[in-house]
Amino acid sequence: MDYNFTICHVSTKVSWRGGEQQLLYLFEQLTVVGISQLVVAPIDSVLASKSILAGNSCLKSVYGSKNKPLMLWRIANKLKSLSKEYVNLIVHVHDSDAHTSAIISSSVLGAQLQVVVSRRVDFPVGRSWISLFKYNHKSVKKIICVSEEVRRITGESIRDKDVMSVVYDGIDTTRFENVGSDFFYRHYNLPEDTLIVGNVAAIAPHKDYFTFVDAAAIIYSRNPSVRFFIIGDGPMEQQIVNYIKSKNLSSVITLCGFLNPVEPALKSLHVLMFTSKTEGLGSTIIDAYSAGVPVVCTTAGGIAEIAHHEKNALTAAPGDARHLAIHVLSLLQSRELRDRLIQQAQHYAQGFSREIMAQQTLSCYTEICRSSPNKW
């Protein structure tokens, strides 16, 4: 099939999180099927440094990441210029600031844009007139939500519900092939009988590492052979370090920082304990399924759509450290339970491939074309 449009992905993030990984997966998969694409991103971002983009003419990098208003203005101008150069341009914004730039380009600079918004967070759109204007702007042709829960929450502020669709995150179902599971034993000289529980997530408020630490304290009190690893970095790192010290768990819980690649660490966990109190979806959980790592998690936000108690995971309410700890202990003690959950979870994860995610996103783009035949 011939596609007579160009997709312009826009990201303003310098760091690397789940949204940036999804953007890159999408770019790679759409490249395979011959879709013309551009990427607008800060020149000093991790995304811009990826080998598939670095030095590629499709990358339209911008300066100014340390001065956000300046960067947003530069992106807005870049989009206006690209809209003139590429007649059939769909601008896919992958974060809130990218969305702001597209609206500035359209409403202030007069660019003729068709905008697709990715919405990944499970909290409501702001009630200010600016937020409502941004999400209901005439240039926004599609809002792609990462889960049904995100669609429900976001929809409270959207006048035209028909612009909303759900596309779940995709994973690379092959990324854990030929990856060993001895990462922590090698890097931290752990005894062979050590059991390893960890989380892979930014150290940010919504990830609720306080509950992670509280659950770890309960688990350790009942099984001293368990060690805990926090894989990620973020703005609350010092607060979590202080909380760990207050619980006298500094020798038990280790902060690994941001790991790249993260696959050896994730696959080396005996249990992933994912403690978020809000979450758009939680694609790390699907990665753990694929890696053969049993999951204990909360039911926050979109997690409830992918984690089904005693089927592919063990779940507890957000903030419920006691039940999270009980579930982890159950998995560590029962090989039969571990094996059953792993088998069912690995099968379940096959339905979340990056190929499926890209195809569903492509369907959103083509829907825009069908709904605006005079534009195309």
For 23-52, what is each residue's pLDDT tens digit?
999 999 999 999 999 999 999 999 999 999
Which of 74-78, 136-140, 239-243, 366-370 is the least confident region? 366-370
For 116-130, what is each residue's pLDDT tens digit?
999 999 999 999 999
Structure tokens at 283: 């694609």
pLDDT of residue 371: 77
How many CB atoms sit inside 10 A of residue 270's CB? 19
pLDDT above 80: residue 224? yes
Question: Which superfamily does 6-170+354-371 belong to?
Answer: Glycogen Phosphorylase B; (3.40.50.2000)
SS3 content of the chain, % helix, strand, coil (to 5): 45, 20, 35
pLDDT of residue 375: 56
Question: Which superfamily does 183-351 belong to?
Answer: Glycogen Phosphorylase B; (3.40.50.2000)
DSSP E strands, 15-169? 36-42, 59-62, 89-93, 114-119, 140-145, 164-166
Element (H, E) at 295: strand 295-298
pLDDT above 70: residue 135? yes
Query: What is the rounded CA–CA span in Å between residue 333 and residue 191?
Result: 18
Query: What is the rounded CA–CA span in Å between residue 345 and residue 332?
Result: 17
* pLDDT category of residue 274 using cuts at 50, 70 and 90: very high
Structure tokens at 182: 């001895």
CB 70 within 8 A of CB 64: yes
Question: Quick check: do 6-170+354-371 and 183-351 share a fold?
Answer: yes
pLDDT above 60: residue 376? no
CA angle at residue 66 from 65 to 68, to 5 degrees? 70
pLDDT of residue 103: 98
pLDDT of residue 87: 87
pLDDT of residue 2: 66
For 296-351, what is each residue's pLDDT tens digit?
999 999 999 999 999 999 999 999 999 999 999 999 999 999 999 999 999 999 99
pLDDT of residue 374: 53
Element (H, E) at 74: helix 68-85
How many CB atoms sit inside 10 A of residue 311's CB? 13
pLDDT more than 90, % of the chain: 95
| Averaged pLDDT of the chain | 96
For 54-81, what is each residue's pLDDT tens digit?
989 999 999 999 999 999 999 999 999 9
pLDDT of residue 373: 56
pLDDT above 60: residue 93? yes
- State how far the alpha carbon of 152 is from the alpha carbons of 126, 163, 169, in Å: 15, 13, 17
* pLDDT category of residue 97 using cuts at 50, 70 and 90: very high
pTM of the entire structure? 0.92
- State how far the alpha carbon of 160 is from the alpha carbons of 136, 156, 254, 275, 350, in Å: 8, 10, 47, 34, 33
Domain ranges in the chain are 6-170+354-371, 183-351
User: For 83-98, what is the mean pLDDT?
Assistant: 96
pLDDT of residue 11: 98
